[in-house]
Amino acid sequence: MKSEKEKMLAEELYFAGDAKLEKDRIAARKFFTEYNSTEPAENERRLGLLKKILKFKGDILIEPPFYCDYGFNIEVGENFYANFSCIFLDTNKIIIGDNVMFGPNVQIYTAAHPLNAKERIKGLELAKPITIGDNVWIGGGAIVCPGVTIGDNTTIGAGSVVTKDIPDNKVAAGNPCKTIRNL
């Protein structure tokens, strides 16, 4: 029988109130309480803290405050920058490529809820992975919804709500986000 975490990562309905998942979320919150209280000059300390919770390859700078559900579902490539107040709901995998930049208040949501009210009321949730390619820039206040893939060399305009995949080499913006220009 699958654990609730296994169901969550398999894109199946899972019970978000599961004791193990709750424990993992509390651990993440304790971690980010410490991370978000660091001083601006403490980049080495921040890097050390991030190594405890995220998977990343190279240079990474995430400006506090930064929040996520678990941390262990986030994989980041080389040369990543996230400005202030980014939120990653990582109930499923968030894969971020190399040379990616996020403006302030970017929100990455793998979490979703059933449309059926009876399932939702029981505390059941869904989660779909998000993939962000290499050389991507996501403007401030953008929201990336569950199951979306953003292609390489793409720019997402500030305030966009990305509900569907965006291919490589595009400028996309709006609500819902749509391609407005080829690169």
Per-position pLDDT tens, the chain of length 183: 999 999 999 999 999 999 999 999 999 999 999 999 999 889 899 999 999 999 998 899 999 999 999 999 999 999 999 999 999 999 999 999 999 999 999 999 999 999 999 988 998 999 999 999 999 999 999 999 999 999 999 999 999 999 999 999 999 999 999 999 999
- Distance, CA of 79 to CA of 101 (rounded, Å): 8
- Distance, CA of 66 to CA of 88 (rounded, Å): 8
Alpha helices in 41-161 (DSSP H): 43-53, 117-121
- For 99: left if phi > 0, alpha if psi spans -120 to 50, otherwise beta; the answer is left
pLDDT of residue 119: 87
**The domain 4-182 belongs to what CATH superfamily?**
Hexapeptide repeat proteins (2.160.10.10)
Q: Which of the following is catalytic: 113, 122, 128, 178?
A: 113
* 81 flagged as catalytic: no
Cα separations in angstroms, 166 against 84, 87, 105, 152: 24, 20, 20, 9
Q: Name, in order, each residue with C-beta under 8 angstroms of 45's C-beta and a sequence gap of 6 or more.
A: 38
**Strands 111-112 and 124-127, how do they pair?**
antiparallel
Domain boundaries, the chain: 4-182
pLDDT of residue 58: 87
- Distance, CA of 74 to CA of 91 (rounded, Å): 9
- For 79: left if phi > 0, alpha if psi spans -120 to 50, otherwise beta; the answer is left
Nearest partner of 22 among 87, 70, 75, judged by Cα: 70
